[in-house]
């Protein structure tokens, strides 16, 4: 997610089901208001240290990460103590009572996590992992969140058959990379002015023509 260092004005980021473990690049996104990180490899709640400096963050989805632990109350209280401006955590509205209780039950995070050997990207699959479940989760949530970005940009929703049109030979890792590329392109478009967007439009038009020509030749 190092691309986020170059997106200071991005407002919505969706990286669910992507094997992410390090949130440090996000501390550059000062306009970020919504962050979706469900089902990644975030091991420590100390990663919240990098989000504490984001003044506009109002929505965070962090559930199903290792850092959530076995105590849901402690996890939620710790998140809210360190990010008291949140209005919604894990798709559940934050109440004033919770924010007050978080000052008592939550743990204050004052330092970043210790550096780990786990790198962002596609983790090695364990024997016990359900590939079918992983692929289904990836497609469902990536499609939902990609369409959220498209809605922000005033674009039509992407149909599922278009989004999941990967060849059977592709690995789960390759699917994730392609989804990341799509999301990154959509996010970067928000940084462009009219002149830049016209260049993108011309480039996409030429690319589409080339792809269609190739398809016709194959038929």
Low-confidence ranges of the chain (pLDDT < 50): 118-135, 164-170
2-105 CATH: 3.80.10.10
What's the CA gap between 16 and 98, in Å, rounded?
Answer: 25
Q: What is the pLDDT of residue 46?
A: 94
Q: What is the pLDDT of residue 219?
A: 66
Looking only at Cα atoms, what is the longest distance across the chain?
67
Q: What pTM does this model have?
A: 0.59
Q: What is the pLDDT of residue 124?
A: 44
Q: What is the pLDDT of residue 99?
A: 94
Q: What is the pLDDT of residue 209?
A: 81
Residue pair 154/147 in contact (Cβ under 8 Å)? The answer is no
Q: What is the pLDDT of residue 160?
A: 61
Packing angle between helix 96-105 and helix 72-82, nearest 10 degrees? 100
Q: What is the pLDDT of residue 57?
A: 94
Q: What is the pLDDT of residue 97?
A: 95
- The sheet that has 92-93: what strands, in order across it? 12-14, 34-36, 59-61, 88-89, 92-93
Would you list the domain boundaries of the chain?
2-105, 182-218
What's the CA gap between 134 and 120, in Å, rounded?
Answer: 17
Q: What is the pLDDT of residue 52?
A: 93
Q: What is the pLDDT of residue 129?
A: 43
Nearest C-alpha neighbor of 86 from the set 106, 66, 71, 69: 106
Measured from the Cβ of residue 98, the count of other Cβ atoms closer than 10 Å reads 20
What's the CA gap between 27 and 101, in Å, rounded?
Answer: 26
Distance of CA 63 to the CA centre of its chain: 12
pLDDT, tens digit, for every residue of 42-56? 999 999 999 999 999
């Amino acid at each position: 997610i190092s691309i986020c260092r170059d997106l200071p004005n991005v407002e919505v980021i969706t990286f669910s089901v992507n094997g992410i473990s390090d949130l440090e690049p996000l501390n550059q996104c000062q306009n970020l208001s919504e962050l979706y990180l469900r089902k990644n490899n975030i091991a420590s709640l100390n990663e919240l240290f990098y989000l504490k400096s984001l003044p506009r963050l109002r929505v965070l989805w962090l559930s199903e990460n290792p850092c959530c632990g076995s105590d849901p109350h402690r996890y939620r209280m710790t998140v809210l103590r360190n990010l008291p401006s949140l209005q919604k955590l894990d798709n559940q509205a934050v109440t004033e009572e919770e924010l007050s209780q978080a000052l008592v039950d939550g743990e204050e995070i004052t330092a970043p996590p210790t550096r780990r050997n786990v790198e962002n990207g596609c983790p090695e699959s364990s024997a016990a992992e359900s590939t079918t479940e992983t692929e289904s989760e990836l497609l469902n949530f990536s499609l939902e969140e990609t369409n959220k970005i498209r809605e922000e940009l005033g674009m039509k929703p992407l149909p599922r058959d278009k989004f999941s049109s990967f060849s059977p030979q592709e690995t789960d890792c390759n699917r994730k990379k392609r989804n990341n590329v799509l999301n990154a392109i959509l996010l970067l478009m928000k940084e462009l002015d009219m002149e830049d967007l016209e260049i993108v439009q011309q480039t996409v038009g030429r690319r589409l023509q080339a792809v269609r020509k190739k398809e016709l030749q194959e038929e």
